[in-house]
C-alpha cells in the first residue's frame, strides 16, 4: 500500500508541472515514459487499446475473451472556408457636362475627357461624397449585417453612357469590379476607401453577375424652394427625366410639396438618380407625371399638393 501511494504522488506531480505553461515549438522537450509496471491500467494513457484483465477461472472452464476498446480519433480543429469569385458593376449617376467644372455638384461621379468616370468631393467639402471611386481602386467586401471583412477586390476601368435621349440625356457611370468573397452570399456590401459601403445584389439582367448602386443622399431639404412653407398656385413642371437635384426644386417651384422620396430600380432607358415618376402622396396610383409627360392639369391641383417622387437607383429592373 505504501509503494502505490508514493507512485501516485509522483504521477500527480508530473501532471501538475506540465500544466503550468504551454511549451512553444522552438523549446526542447523531455518526454517522460511511464511504463505499465509503474502505472495502473487507469493511469496509463499510452496504449490505444486496452485488454481487460480476466478474473481467475475455475478448473474446466474457459476464460472470456479480452475486451478491446476502440482507438480515439481526434476531431478536425479547423473547417475550410470556400471562396467565390465575384464579377459585377457599380453604377453612379451624373448630371452636367464633362469635367469637374461642368458637373452638377450633386452628381455621384464626374465624366472625364478620356471617357472614364471618377468620384469627387461634390458639394460637401467636409464629406468624401464619392472621393476615392476611381478605376483600379481597391475595395473590401462585408456581410450585409456586419463589419467583418469577408473578401476583397478591385475596380476595373470605368466608362459612361447616355441612356436617355439627345434632348434629355441621362448620364450613367459604370465601375466594373471583380474579387473574391468567403462562401457564396446572395447579398453583401462593398466598401471603397473611406466611403460608406454599398449594397451588392445579383444583377437581374446578367445571370451570374452582381450590381451595386453608388448611393448618395437625395433630399428636398437641400433646396430653399422646397423648405419654404409658402403655398403658391400649382403651375406646369418638368421633372421626369431630369437628375434629382434638378427635378426636386423644379417640383417645389411649381407649387408642390414633396412628402417622400422612393428609390425603385431603373428601367432600360432610365438613368441612375434620375426622376422616373411623380405620384400623389395620398394615393400613389394617381400619376401626375411619368415618361409620357404630364398626366394632370396643374390648375386642378391645390397649392401645396403633396407628392411622392420616384428616383431610380443604379440597380436595373429584372
Tell me the per-residue pLDDT of 12-65, one tens digit each, with 9 for 90 and over: 333 333 333 223 333 333 323 333 333 344 444 444 444 444 455 555 555 555
Q: CB count, 10 Å around CB of 193?
A: 15
Please tell me which residue, 52 or 276, carries the higher pLDDT value. 276
Question: Which residues face 92 on adjacent strands?
Answer: 173
| pTM: predicted TM-score of the whole model, two decimal places | 0.74
The C-alpha atoms of residue 20 and residue 41 are separated, in whole angstroms, by 26
Torsion sign, CA atoms 210, 201, 262, 287: positive
Q: Can you spell out the DSSP letters for 45-68? A: ---SS-BPPPPP--TT-PPPPPPB
Tell me the per-residue pLDDT of 220-233, one tens digit each, with 9 for 90 and over: 999 999 999 998 99
Please tell me which residue, 67 or 215, carries the higher pLDDT value. 215
Phi-psi region of 129 (alpha: psi -120 to 50; beta: other; left: phi over 0): left
Tell me the per-residue pLDDT of 114-172, one tens digit each, with 9 for 90 and over: 999 999 999 776 789 999 999 999 999 999 988 899 999 999 999 999 999 999 999 99
Give the residue carrying C-alpha cell 450613367.
172
pLDDT of residue 93: 98
Yes or no: say if 218 and 261 are a contact pair by the CB < 8 Å rule.
yes
Tell me the per-residue pLDDT of 230-271, one tens digit each, with 9 for 90 and over: 989 999 999 999 999 999 999 999 999 999 999 999 999 999
Average pLDDT over residues 189-209: 96
Amino acid at each position: 500500500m505504501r509503494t502505490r501511494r508514493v507512485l501516485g504522488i509522483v504521477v500527480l506531480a508530473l501532471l501538475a508541472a506540465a500544466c503550468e505553461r504551454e511549451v512553444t515549438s522552438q523549446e526542447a522537450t523531455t518526454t517522460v515514459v511511464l511504463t505499465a509496471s509503474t502505472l495502473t491500467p487507469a493511469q496509463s494513457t499510452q496504449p490505444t487499446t486496452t485488454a481487460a484483465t480476466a478474473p481467475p477461472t475455475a478448473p474446466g472452464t474457459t476464460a472470456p475473451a479480452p475486451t478491446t476498446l476502440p482507438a480515439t480519433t481526434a476531431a478536425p480543429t479547423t473547417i475550410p472556408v470556400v471562396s467565390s469569385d465575384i464579377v459585377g458593376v457599380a453604377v453612379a449617376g451624373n448630371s452636367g457636362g464633362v469635367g469637374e467644372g461642368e458637373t452638377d455638384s450633386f452628381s455621384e461621379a464626374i465624366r472625364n475627357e478620356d471617357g472614364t468616370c471618377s468620384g469627387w468631393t461634390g458639394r460637401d467639402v467636409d464629406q468624401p461624397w464619392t472621393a476615392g471611386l476611381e478605376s483600379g481602386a481597391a475595395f473590401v467586401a462585408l456581410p450585409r449585417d456586419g463589419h467583418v471583412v469577408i473578401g476583397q477586390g478591385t475596380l476595373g476601368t470605368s466608362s459612361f453612357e447616355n441612356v436617355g435621349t439627345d434632348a434629355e440625356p441621362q448620364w450613367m457611370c459604370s465601375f466594373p469590379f471583380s474579387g473574391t468573397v468567403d462562401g457564396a452570399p446572395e447579398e453583401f456590401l462593398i466598401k471603397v476607401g473611406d466611403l460608406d459601403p454599398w449594397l451588392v445584389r445579383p444583377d437581374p439582367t446578367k445571370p451570374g453577375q452582381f450590381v451595386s448602386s453608388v448611393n448618395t443622399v437625395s433630399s428636398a431639404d437641400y433646396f430653399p424652394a422646397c423648405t419654404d412653407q409658402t403655398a403658391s398656385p400649382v403651375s406646369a413642371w418638368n421633372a421626369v427625366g431630369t437628375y434629382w437635384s434638378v427635378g426636386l426644386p423644379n417640383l417645389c417651384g411649381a407649387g408642390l410639396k414633396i412628402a417622400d422620396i422612393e428609390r425603385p430600380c431603373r428601367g432600360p432607358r432610365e438613368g441612375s438618380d434620375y426622376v422616373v415618376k411623380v405620384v400623389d402622396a395620398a394615393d400613389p396610383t394617381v400619376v401626375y407625371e411619368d415618361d409620357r409627360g404630364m398626366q394632370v392639369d396643374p390648375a386642378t391641383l391645390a397649392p401645396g399638393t403633396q407628392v411622392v417622387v420616384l428616383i431610380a437607383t443604379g440597380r436595373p429592373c429584372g
